[in-house]
Amino acid sequence: MIKTKYSIAVSALAAAAAASPAYAADGRYPVTYVQKVEITHPSHRSAWENKDFLDCDDVVLTEEDVFYALRYMRRISWKSYDPENTDTTGCEGKALVTFKSGKILAMGIEPTGRISAGEFDAGMKPTTSPPSFYECDPCRQRKMALLKDALNRADERRLKRLVAEGRISEVEAERRLNWVRDQRDKP
């Protein structure tokens, strides 16, 4: 009897976990109500850009990226978003998403899945809704896989600089580059 109650409880918990994905979309911005997406800055660099990690010229925000973010972004606090406390590439694409209701969402999307958003009315006046901050791990995984070549080029630049400074040998740089690329190619 106890074993049966335990199995029912475990089954119920498993069903509940399957029904609510870890990265559910923010219900205020349903993809089905998107009227238009306008990419205002496909590639923008901030003061946080780190070309040793990623050159912002290699990062281009697409309409597909915006829809993907709307599907999987999860709201977080400013403290969790703050660039001084988290990893950032310093690269960001910007977009305006217009919904059928007339609401406009201005989004800044980084390849790391960090997203900032502000709401505006149809006349581009800010709404009373405060700015929002999101993270989207599925977005990060997807975009970083697409940026594999750009990340490899950044690794090459960084290692060439270390060789030029005499901090490592060319043989060591080649070994490290091959190791990093192998790690990046793992599923």
Looking at the structure, tell me whether residues 167 and 132 fall in a common domain.
Answer: no
pLDDT in tens, 49-87: 777 777 888 889 999 999 999 999 999 998 888 877 777
Query: In terms of domains, do 79 and 98 share one?
Result: yes
Average pLDDT over residues 176-182: 89
Q: Are residues 117 and 186 in the same domain?
A: no
Residue 106: name the closest of 93, 124, 119 by CA. 119
pLDDT digits (tens, 9 = 90+) for 136-173: 999 988 888 888 888 888 888 889 999 999 999 999 99
Q: Summarize pLDDT for 6-49 with one digit per residue, the tens.
A: 444 444 434 433 334 455 578 889 999 999 999 999 998 877 77
Residue 123 confidence (pLDDT) above 50: yes
**Does 7 map to a domain?**
no
Task: Give residue 114's domain range.
Answer: 31-146
Does 91 lie in the same domain as 178?
no
On the question of pLDDT at 2 being above 70, the answer is: no
Whether 11 maps to a domain, the answer reads no
Is there a domain that residue 6 lies in? no
Q: In the chain, what percentage of residues exceed pLDDT 90?
A: 47
Residue 115 lies in a domain: yes
Q: Are residues 117 and 173 in the same domain?
A: no
- What is the pTM assigned to this prediction? 0.72
Q: Which residues contact 106 (CB under 8 A, 6 or more apart)?
A: 94, 95, 96, 117, 118, 119, 120
Q: Which of 95, 145, 138 lies closest to 120 in space, CA to CA?
A: 95
* 16 falls within a domain: no
- On whether residue 60 sits in a domain, the answer given is yes
